[in-house]
Amino acid sequence: MLRVTGAAIALATLFAAPSFAPGGSPAFPASAAEGASLAPRAAPPGGPGTASDTAPQVAVAPEPDEIHLRNLHMLTFEGQNAEAYFSSDDRRLIFQATPRGAGCDQIYIMDTDGSGRHRVSTGSGRTTCAYFYPDGSRILYATTHLDDPECPPTPDYSQGYVWPLYAYDIVTANPDGSDVRLLTGGPGYDAEATISEDGSRIVFTSVRDGDLEIYTMDADGGNVRRLTHEPGYDGGAFFSPDGSKIVYRGYHPPDSTGLADYRALLARGLVRPSVMELFVVNADGSDRRQITRNGAANFAPYFHPDGKRIIFASNMRDPTSRDFDLYLIGVDGTGLERVTTHPEFDGFPMFSRDGRQLVFESNRHGRRPGETNVFVADWVESPGSDP
């Protein structure tokens, strides 16, 4: 574990592959930029599609006051596992993981009972931010393997905890990992991509215009449109169920000193994630509203299927703490409710499409301190009722 304190410990422990990283991608041939199939430079033995032996899911007890969670199960059992998201039929999960002793995050798929886990990324470079296309025909993720097949170096933490802005590009592939195709190219960071439920638009974060801003594009990579324009980091975006809104996390320096620090780090391919607030904006970029104002590290927002509430992770009870919990809040910023109460990290929540299950990642029940695993629970809307 990195020798850092407070919120930085939680983020350093959890983000096996932080959701960032420019660093200069090579120029791609025209055919690649147009979406031609991109073969990995070097894939290790047991490549994409090879199922691994995994332990079965294990039932664990929620905390006594985690009244919205029932039938909680642990699906992974070692290393760092993060950003697990449901397929549209709620039968599979796609996520990034660094097994114990491995060098870089790769993308895996497993059933929602933890069985059938297998790697679907190439095994080269570092990957992050994977998502299923709604029709199940393709998957989406960000990778550095097109820039360099080796794991990128870790950043210098001597000036505090930072996220490195690696040379990620967004790619799409078949669900078995084959037929990797480039959606974004050129130098700099493109990552944090998710898809609207009708499959028509992708939202992502990019540094292409010199700052970390949110963009949308068509499912094939065309028709790119910038949505945010304020100096600072904007990212981690998700569409509302009807596709009309986007929720995201952001840090906008409050003064000239903060802005100078942000820009100095950005010039070195770094960003400091210790303070982030949540925002909702229309899918065309209009009518932006800030929905948290607590000065903490709020992140991983996701819409409840009713489109009226958002679940997210935060250390708002103590912004110097590594104790991140899940919270619900209305899209208008009212009705805040705490969901998890375990004294370690809980983050990256996502509801199943029918709202009956919640997947999230947590440090609870880890075999070693700081390990982060995937958990699935039945969601109890009204305590005392059936999930």
DSSP letter for 350, please: E
Q: Is residue 64 part of a domain?
A: yes
Q: What is the pLDDT of residues 271-303, one digit of tens each?
A: 988 899 999 999 999 999 999 999 999 999 999
Using pLDDT thresholds of 50, 70 and 90, give the confidence band for residue 385: low
SS3 state at 126: coil
Domain with 198, as residue range(s), is: 7-22+53-379
Using pLDDT thresholds of 50, 70 and 90, give the confidence band for residue 49: low
Distance CA 192, CA 238 (A): 9
CATH number for the domain including 135?
2.120.10.30
DSSP letter for 57, please: P
Q: Is residue 113 part of a domain?
A: yes
The better pLDDT of the pair 196, 320 is held by 196
Q: How many CA atoms lie within 13 A of 93 on its CB side?
A: 32
- Provide the whole-model pTM: 0.86
Q: Is residue 235 part of a domain?
A: yes
The arithmetic mean of pLDDT across residues 187-206, rounded, is: 96
Model confidence at 121: pLDDT above 80: yes
- CB atoms closer than 10 angstroms to residue 3: 9
Please check whether residue 128 is in contact with residue 105, taking contact to mean a CB–CB distance below 8 angstroms. Answer: yes
Q: Is residue 253 part of a domain?
A: yes
Task: Using alpha carbons, select from 24, 1, 83, 6 the residue that is nearest to residue 272.
Answer: 6
Residue 53: its pLDDT value, please?
A: 52
Q: Which long-range contacts (CB under 8 A, 24 or more apart) does 302-306 make?
A: 302/238, 302/247, 302/349, 302/350, 302/351, 303/238, 303/239, 303/240, 303/241, 303/245, 303/247, 303/351, 304/328, 304/351, 304/355, 305/241, 305/351, 305/353, 305/354, 305/355, 306/241, 306/355
Residue 45: its pLDDT value, please?
A: 36
Instruction: Please state the domain count of the chain.
Output: 1
Q: Is residue 45 part of a domain?
A: no
